[in-house]
Structures are given as C-alpha cells and as structure tokens.
Amino acid sequence: MATEQLYSTDAYLRTFEAAVAEVDADGHRVALDRTAFYPGGGGQPHDTGTLAWDGGRAAVAKVAADRGIVWHWLDPDAPLPDPASAAEGSLDWDRRHLLMRTHTALHILCGVIWHEFGVAVTGGNMTPGEGRLDFELDAMSAELGQRVERRVNDEIERARAVLVDFVDRGAADADPALIRTKANLIPAAIDPLRVIDIVGLDKQADGGTHVATTAEVGAVRVTKTESKGKANKRIRIAVEEPAAGA
C-alpha cells in the first residue's frame, strides 16, 4: 500500500500520527501508512527528525521513497517498533523550514530567468540555506548575477503567494511551461501532476516543499556565477535573513 504523503498538501505539518505499515529489520527501517517526512527528490534533500511509539523512540536519519512506499531509516542503535503499532513523527523543523525557503528561492530564480531569457533548467541541487541552478544560457557574468540577485529580491519583497495544485497529466503535458527542466524526467504514470504556482511569476510541476509566500524566503544572495560549458551556466545562491529594518 502506498504511503499517504502528508507533505504534498501541508508543508507546515511538524508532527503527525501514523501506523507502522512495515518493518524491515535488516535495513533497520520502517514504512508508515502516512508521513510528513519528505523523502528527497528534485534536488531537495530528505527530512530528518524523530519517530516515537509506545516503549521506544528513535532518530530518523534517512528517508526515501520506493515505488510509492516511503521508508524511514532509524538510528541503528535504537529499537524498532512492532508492525501495526501507533507512532508519532516529529520533523527537525528548523532544517525543513530552511529547505522550504531555499527551494522556494530556487523557484523564484527559475521564474526570473524564464521571464528574462525563456530558457530551461538543466540541473540543480540544494542544501539547507544554499542552492544552485544550471540554465541553457549562452553567456554568464558577475554583472548578470548581480542583476538576477536584485530581481529575485524584488520578487521576494512582492510577497507573492505560493500555491499548490494538482493538474491532470493530459492538461499538464499540453502546457510546456509547466516542465521547466531540459529533460522531462517526470514519469508518465504520475497523474495528476503536483504543481507549485508562485502567483504571477513561476508555475511548474514540482514535488518538494515550499513556503506559503515569497516574503517568507527572507533574502537571497547570488554567491557565484559559473560557466559549466557551452550553453550551460550555473548560478549559486544563499538564503539569508532579511536585513534589519527591511
């Protein structure tokens, strides 16, 4: 049975109750019937936190999805719960929220580049507070990085709403702007598609977690611009707290 993905509809859920659906003693991992732990994907790392049950508690060190089942790897020195037992999960919220801010900042960057140049993303990755995107640009410079930084922070200050929607796959495939990666890596079997809409700026298929408004990102600094080859340019960013008085 597939795991109910609570993070897909409520990114702000910090704790949740679930039942243990399966226990893999050899892997020291458990599957739950529902979870708020993001399993990683699209460049966003998996969540961490804790899982507690009657008579036990363990750190969740790794989370990953496999054919619709989300597995939670527990601290190898901790006990494992019994199958079908009730459990409560708690996210490392500070880490998750920073990842949400970072992921949303990357979508803002993607929207800015799309509106100015109309080019696709060729790659990306993030850690809490830092991220990078690669674009099909012919040229890159520090001056362009500074201009992009100003545009991104302007969009943050506009406090644009960030909405989650689910779109029929047929309709999504008819709108090429919803798939912003150069290679469409989303399997055709995923229907409907989850879509993140930064209203008025960026709308694309995405499975990760985001803040509810661009203002919550804080501030973005372009830390480096790089050429990674012909028509492949990289922009690195850092997410920071807004300046005092901003």
Euclidean distance between CA atoms 159 and 108, whole angstroms: 11
Question: Which pair of tokens denotes residue 152?
Answer: 């991104």
**Residues 147 and 87 occupy one common structural domain:** no
Q: Domain check: are 85 and 186 in the same one? A: no
- Total domains present in the chain: 2
Give the CATH number for residue 87. Answer: 2.40.30.130
* CATH code (residue 187): 3.30.980.10
Q: What is the DSSP letter of 230?
A: T
Give the residue numbers spanning the domain of 206: 96-240
Our CA angle for 84, 85, 86, nearest 5°, is 120
- The verdict on 100 and 75 lying in the same domain is no
Q: What is the mean pLDDT of the chain?
A: 92
pLDDT in tens, 129-183: 999 999 999 999 999 999 999 999 999 999 999 999 998 877 766 676 665 555 4
User: Cα Rg for the chain, rounded, in angstroms?
Assistant: 19
Average pLDDT over residues 54-61: 96
Residue 26 within any structural domain of the chain: yes
**Domain contains 245:** no
- The tens digit of pLDDT for each residue in 104-133 reads 999 999 999 999 999 888 899 999 999 999
Residues 117 and 204 in one domain: yes
Q: How far is CA 75 from the centre of its chain?
A: 24
